[in-house]
Amino acid sequence: MADSDQTQIILGSNVSDLIGQDRIHCLEMTTGLDVEERYAISAVGLEIGRVPPADIVISDVQVSRSHCRVQMKDGAVVVTDLGSTNGTFIDGKRVEGSVMLPVGSMLAIGSHKLKHAWRTPAEIEKNDDFSRELQRATAYVRSLLPPPSREAPIRADWVYEPSAKLGGDAFGYGQLSDTTYVGYLIDVAGHGASAAMHAVSIMNNLRQKALPGADMRRPGEVLAALNNMYQMDEHAGLYFTAWYGVYDTEARRLDYASGGHHPTYLVPPSRSAAIPMRTRNVIIGAMPEMTFREASMHVPEGASIYMFSDGVYEIVDTDDHQWNLKDFVKLMLEPPIDGVNEAVRIYDAVRHRARPETLDDDFSLVVLTFD
Amino acid sequence: MSAVISEEGGVVKAELEGRLDTMNVNNMEMQFTAGIAPKAMPTIVDLTKVTFIASLGIRMLLTTCRTLDRRGAKMALYGATPPVMEVIETTALSEIIPVVGSEAEAVAAVKG
């Protein structure tokens, strides 16, 4: 039987073919409370496995090539394990043979969860409208990011790949005055429209190059002003981490401060080391009236700095190893590839090494090179 | 991921186990906060069996701590493993919530 007959991801008008009554049995792949994808269940059924021709392909080493089948039988949804290595589970109980999947129950396969939902077309349409809105929001965030620059004396490359549900990363860089250049990256905790809206609001304030009571050339003052403006109690419990640096083009000095953020790294042209640049300050929005310490670093000719969000390195690799900063720094110091910009080199390497389901956060990496 | 919340000697103890990643926090944050905050009692959180903590996990702890603080109760964390401690250090969370080594130290911190 042709696979295209068995699988249908419901998006908008495709729904009508699969409506038997006024509701549709669906499998919804979830991340926490969010629905990532929805699949309609028919009498023909859906096969779930790690590789095509499975109808639902889950690229997870814990999932067998042909893992289980979900289908309608006599008006009920039934799950049949197809001899999977790691098992199929319904609400935590392993499936032996064929077992009914009640509405609202959770089907677990590897580290993925699929919920059995029984939806009206109106509910599905509403959900799909929301997904389209998220896509528009992603495009909007992207439009606010500065373009890459190949022009001396400061060249900029970046990769911004938001998570499926859009996260709260944002960054910027550019001339602050005739002799100063600014670079910053913020990471709002959480996903979805609220985190993205928060990030956009913060970024728009930084783009204005003016914050109340702050000299924009003083990183500590900038973070302190942001901290007072964005207290989490007044912003739906959202907080963020940030790194902010100001480069003096004449003195070749970089002044910087971070708030709850891991270091930005300076890598000299010899690539002999990655020098961390971080000041120990609390996350932004957690506590009012905090002081933010700053520090300085000399920038050698030809050196680069790497600013990034935690989604870049908080992955589990294909050997089941949970990465930390050290793993990422090692990758950062690997030789550049001719013809490939540095940010893309690193993005490709992380994507290649990560278990796909663990790349679930925004990936934001900015490389600034100082000629 | 699991959280066991108990009470002993006037102190609430929350034992967390597993990965505090985005998905798990989304699934348990409400129950965790609801299981602790309304009691408005000194609270200690055992991180001994937490293998990973993402930024949303930090937010869950911070939100609970701030809610308790508004109600006049303290919260402390203890037993963080090296990878979890690395994240706690990065966020400088210990400037807001006491982070100590043992359960006894945590009890002392919240009762003091």
**Low pLDDT (below 50) residues in chain A:** 1-21, 32-33
The one-letter amino acid at A278 = R
The pLDDT of residue B27:
78
Sign of CA dihedral B12, B16, B21, B24: negative
Chain A hits for B83, CB-CB cut-off 8 Å, are: 322, 324
Is residue A97 domain-shared with residue A224, that is, in the same domain?
no
The one-letter amino acid at A201 = S
Running DSSP on this structure, what letter comes out for residue B3?
A: E
Q: What is the pLDDT of residues A130-155, one digit of tens each?
A: 777 777 888 888 899 999 998 888 99
The pLDDT of residue A19:
42
Check if B56 contacts A (Cβ < 8 Å): yes
A236 Cα to chain B: minimum distance (Å): 11
Sign of CA dihedral B19, B24, B26, B31: negative
The pLDDT of residue A221:
98
Distance of CA A329 to the CA centre of its chain: 19
Q: Among residues B105, B87, B101, B98, which one has the least CA distance to residue B20? A: B87
The pLDDT of residue A187:
95
CATH (domain of A60): 2.60.200.20
Read off the tokens for A176: 């602050």
Is residue A58 domain-shared with residue A95, that is, in the same domain?
yes
The ipTM (two decimal places) reads 0.87
The pLDDT of residue A34:
56
The pair phi, psi for residue A161, each rounded to 5°, is -125, 95
Q: Are residues A105 and A30 in contact, defined by beta-carbon separation less than 8 angstroms?
A: no
The pLDDT of residue A7:
30
Can you tell me the distance from the alpha carbon of A261 to that of A185, in angstroms, rounded to the nearest whole number? 9
Predicted TM-score of the model (pTM): 0.75
Is residue A269 domain-shared with residue A169, that is, in the same domain?
yes
- Which spans in A274-324 are helix H? none
Is residue A103 domain-shared with residue A175, that is, in the same domain?
no
Is residue A115 domain-shared with residue A225, that is, in the same domain?
no
**Residue A340, burial from CB neighbour count under 10 angstroms (0-12, 13-18, 19+):** exposed
Cβ–Cβ gap A33/B95 under 8 Å: no
Q: What is the pLDDT of residues B42-101, one digit of tens each?
A: 999 999 999 999 888 999 999 999 999 999 999 999 999 999 999 999 999 999 999 999
Can you tell me the distance from the alpha carbon of A209 to that of A246, in angstroms, rounded to the nearest whole number? 12
Check if A360 contacts B (Cβ < 8 Å): yes
The pLDDT of residue A151:
85
CATH (domain of B82): 3.30.750.24
Q: Are residues A157 and A367 in contact, defined by beta-carbon separation less than 8 angstroms?
A: yes
Is residue A67 domain-shared with residue A170, that is, in the same domain?
no
Domain that holds residue A82: 23-119
Among A101, A119, A137, the domain-final residue is: A119
| Residue A239 belongs to a domain | yes
B24 Cα to chain A: minimum distance (Å): 7
- Count A/B contacts: CB-CB distance under 8 Å: 68
Q: Among residues A159, A174, A203, which one has the least CA distance to residue A366? A: A159
